[in-house]
Structure 1
Amino acid sequence: MISKFFSIVLIAAALASIRPGAGLCAEPPAAAQMVLSEAYAQMEEENYEKALEKLKNFQARSDETDPDPDAADPRGYHHPEIYFMIGNIHYAMENPEKARQAYQQAVKRSPEHAGALVNLARVFHEQEKYEKAAQSFEKAYAAEDQKEAAYLYYAAVSLLANGSAGNSLNLFEKLFKAHPDEIKPVWRENLVYAFLEAGKNREALPHIKLLAEKYTGEKQIQWQEILLHQYVELDMPDTARKYALALTTQAPTIPKWWKALAHAALSQNDHDQALTAMMIYSYLTPLSEQEKKLLGDLALQAGVPVKAEPYYEALLEENQDKSVLKSLVSALQQLGKPEKALEAIRAFDGHENDPELMMLKADLFYGMDRFRDAAEAYSAAAQHKGNQEGRAWIMAGYSAWEIQDTEAALQYFKNAAEFENHKKDAKAAIKRIEEQ
């Protein structure tokens, strides 16, 4: 029900809202501040090329292209903020690789530059280098005195996207402990995905319950459905059934809750409640073939064949399904309609050469005391090799015996005696006929 893709979509949506603040580093010298101001003005007008040119020209005045980060730089040619701005320009120009290189230069010169660390993490995430993204987010979180809870959250979800659910849960635990008042619903959602990914479904339950209670509208329905699914997955049938019943009471016009209640009741062999729930479900939404079959089966199992009959008939009109035909015949037999059952079999394509249906028709004849027809039907079914052959011969014998056709009965019983399961009964019948 819950896909990893969905959780990554949530992660990407969260990252799109990042607005990193200024970096934590020494203030740039006056010359660097001036060129940064000019470049920023160009960026505001989306003149990215000009902004980049100004910064590159400024750096070109330096004698060093890649100086030692600890070397003196009085004019700020290689100040972290210069590289940070260059990274932002490349990112705006949709050149993430060059942006990454610039951000790494900024971090190299100022390891606690939170803005560069966060934007570097964003680039890593977009490049699907989730572990590196998580590391950068963690460093950004550690760099600031006023801890930004979002950075820890982004680190956790990056690890989740990387498939490291266990490590992700460790960060989520740290996040929820350090910032209990800042937790957003979407953060809790990804915590749930981390629990489920790690196979810790039971630990996820309290958080799923909270989301199902706090959300409204479609989001609430989504999490109610997830909660119900988890009750089933965790083998909690009583809880699942009570919750499904509560949902039908809370929102009786939502079809899926009635279907869920039907399945929950069926798992505990309560066919009556399952039937009632599926009947209400059928009033709220058109049924699929599978749902019609389920409703018919439930009615039959609940001892209400009159409700099963129309569903089976409708299904057979749509599709020639032998299992549905057999269920319809059973319902019609219970309703005392053997002739209609025979008509249903005759209307089924290929029934003349289907041993199972031939036996079903023969049984109907026998139950109607139409022994001559039964004998013919059983003997015809016996001509087909299969599991039914022995039973077909012995029933043909009994049918012929009923109409006092002893010659045919003896032959049928002799044929039945060849089968181990029917040998004893067949020989006993032969003996009685011979004695008579």
Structure 2
Amino acid sequence: MNMKYIFPFFMVVLMLTGFAHAEDRLPPMARQTLHTAQIHMDNERFDEVVSVLRTYMASTDEIIPAPVYIMLGGAHYRNGHAREAYTAFIEGQAVWPRHEMLVRNCAVLCYELDRFKDAGKFFEKAYALTDPLEPLLLFQAGSAYYGGEDFSASSLVMDRLMAPSQQPKKEWVRLAIHAHLQAGHPHKAEKMLHRFLAENPDEGPYWELLAKLHLDREEYEEAAGALEICYRLRDPSQRELERLASLYHYSNAPLMAAATLRRAYCGTTETPQFEKIAFLCASAGRLDDAVQTIARCPYSVERAEKQGRFLYQGRRFDDATTVFQDVLHHESKAGESRFFLAMCAWERRDWKGVKEHLSRLRGNPAFANRLKGPLQIIEDMETVRAELRE
């Protein structure tokens, strides 16, 4: 965030108006010196301006009037000598500590010379000297403190500025938000964010900032809502949409997560992306959607087995049987398909089919634990039937 809001215009205006307002009250020698210096200034002979003013300052026993310092600093500044201008204004402010124009110019030069904290102090002082009070000076103070990374001071100044403002300017609210965040006051920042977004709903980056605040508190549903608005205001990247989908998943909203991934993977034909969407649909109980999504992937035994499991979860046992049989046609050693064929037969009470498929998995260590229960039940049933026949 660029905090350089202050421009030389403020100093130039103060320099020109300072002499005009004070001329009638100046001592004769000071008035004559300023008149001569102004002629040189109008002709852009800045070295002559400095020479005339410094000669007067060295020779007089009078208290040097504030307009002399203002014109001296202005001549240095217009000559491209910002540090000398700063020195002149600081000297004048030391003699005239409550002179508003000198204080303002000190603030501007401090800011231009990257003395941000000093600039903030001078802007605050200038604000206190204005009548009526000028809120812009407090905003400039907050900007200066922020530029100098004195975020606590910036936050406090922005509180002073915002408190009486019923309709603060957009840039004021922006600065207040960032100052509060950097100063470690997230609740203040969030309050400002809601106020700002209520009046500026098209500011996408600030919806994203609000989402970050919610994420910091693990408020995933609220974070997802803020990001959804943000990503409707601009085209998000695939990674950003994946992140939003994850938030929906954490918020127990798998269908929203699936819909978001469809946006992320629009036009893709890659299997992993389809599998993610299918899993989310299945977890939401939308098994038909899961089956249709996984069917769009290029054929593979693994993909087909996932499709079969989705059908099995949806209690579509005949369709699942067809899929698993097709897998075994392509890969006779596909143990997972063999096991689910047994489970489909179980649901249809086809005990002979159950035994046939489970028996063919005997000796496969990957299924040892999964076979124990079903095989034991089948064997017990056969024992009971044999006893009844006797």
Q: TM-score when scaled to structure 2?
A: 0.64
Q: Answer whether contact 2:295 2:307 (CA < 8 A) is retained.
A: no
- SS of residue in 1 equivalent to 2:296: helix
CA displacement, residues 335-393 of structure 1 (integer Å, 9 cap, x when unaligned): 5997x778634x25xx35xx4x25325546974333643545675444xxxxxxxx556
Which residue of structure 2 lines up, in the alignment, with residue 324 of structure 1? 274
Q: Answer whether contact 1:43 1:89 (CA < 8 A) is retained.
A: yes
Change (3 A) 1:158 1:421: farther
Which residue of structure 2 lines up, in the alignment, with residue 277 of structure 1? none
Supply the distance in 1 between the matched residues of 2:361 and 2:50 (Cα, whole angstroms): 103
CA displacement, residues 189-231 of structure 1 (integer Å, 9 cap, x when unaligned): 4334433333434445665565556x6xxx5633996599379
Q: Answer whether contact 2:327 2:337 (CA < 8 A) is retained.
A: no
Which residue of structure 2 lines up, in the alignment, with residue 344 of structure 1? 296
Q: Are residue 395 (structure 1) and residue 340 (structure 2) matched? A: yes
Which residue of structure 2 lines up, in the alignment, with residue 97 of structure 1? 83
Which residue of structure 2 lines up, in the alignment, with residue 13 of structure 1? 5
Which residues of 2 match residues 9-408 of structure 1 at below 5 A?
12-13=4-5, 18=10, 19-20=13-14, 22=18, 28-45=26-43, 47=44, 50-60=45-55, 73-74=61-62, 79-143=65-129, 147-175=133-161, 184=169, 186-204=171-189, 211=196, 219=200, 221-222=202-203, 226=207, 229=210, 233=214, 259-260=228-229, 301=255, 315=265, 317-325=267-275, 327=277, 334-335=287-288, 344-345=296-297, 347=298, 351=300, 355=302, 357=303, 359-360=305-306, 363=309, 367-368=318-319, 369-370=321-322, 372-375=325-328, 380-382=333-335, 391=336, 394-395=339-340
Change (3 A) 1:316 1:176: closer
Q: Answer whether contact 2:53 2:68 (CA < 8 A) is retained.
A: no
CA displacement, residues 122-158 of structure 1 (integer Å, 9 cap, x when unaligned): 1221232211111222333445666544434432332
Change (3 A) 1:61 1:130: closer
Supply the distance in 2 between the matched residues of 1:167 and 1:362 (Cα, whole angstroms): 63
Unaligned stretches of 5+ residues in structure 1: 65-71, 245-255, 264-280, 383-390
- Tell me which amino acid in the other structure corresponds to 1:373: D
Q: Answer whether contact 2:190 2:213 (CA < 8 A) is retained.
A: no
Supply the distance in 1 between the matched residues of 2:132 and 2:290 (Cα, whole angstroms): 81
User: 351, 372, 375: which one pairs with 1:423?
Assistant: 372
Q: Answer whether contact 1:374 1:396 (CA < 8 A) is retained.
A: no
Q: How many residues align?
A: 353
Q: Answer whether contact 2:325 2:337 (CA < 8 A) is retained.
A: no
Change (3 A) 1:367 1:90: farther
Change (3 A) 1:416 1:377: farther
- Tell me which amino acid in the other structure corresponds to 1:196: L
- Tell me which amino acid in the other structure corresponds to 2:203: Q
Change (3 A) 1:318 1:42: farther
- Tell me which amino acid in the other structure corresponds to 2:364: N
- Tell me which amino acid in the other structure corresponds to 1:98: E
1:432 Cα offset (Å): 6.6
Change (3 A) 1:182 1:123: farther
Q: Answer whether contact 1:397 1:408 (CA < 8 A) is retained.
A: yes
Change (3 A) 1:421 1:173: same
Q: Answer whether contact 1:396 1:412 (CA < 8 A) is retained.
A: no
Report % sequence identity.
17
- SS of residue in 1 equivalent to 2:97: coil
Supply the distance in 2 between the matched residues of 1:163 and 1:313 (Cα, whole angstroms): 40
Supply the distance in 1 between the matched residues of 2:95 and 2:61 (Cα, whole angstroms): 11
Q: TM-score when scaled to structure 1?
A: 0.59
1:53 Cα offset (Å): 1.6
Supply the distance in 2 between the matched residues of 1:433 and 1:378 (Cα, whole angstroms): 31
1:320 Cα offset (Å): 0.7
Q: Answer whether contact 1:359 1:377 (CA < 8 A) is retained.
A: no
CA displacement, residues 14-34 of structure 1 (integer Å, 9 cap, x when unaligned): 556634463999954323322
Supply the distance in 1 between the matched residues of 2:211 and 2:294 (Cα, whole angstroms): 46
Change (3 A) 1:188 1:40: farther
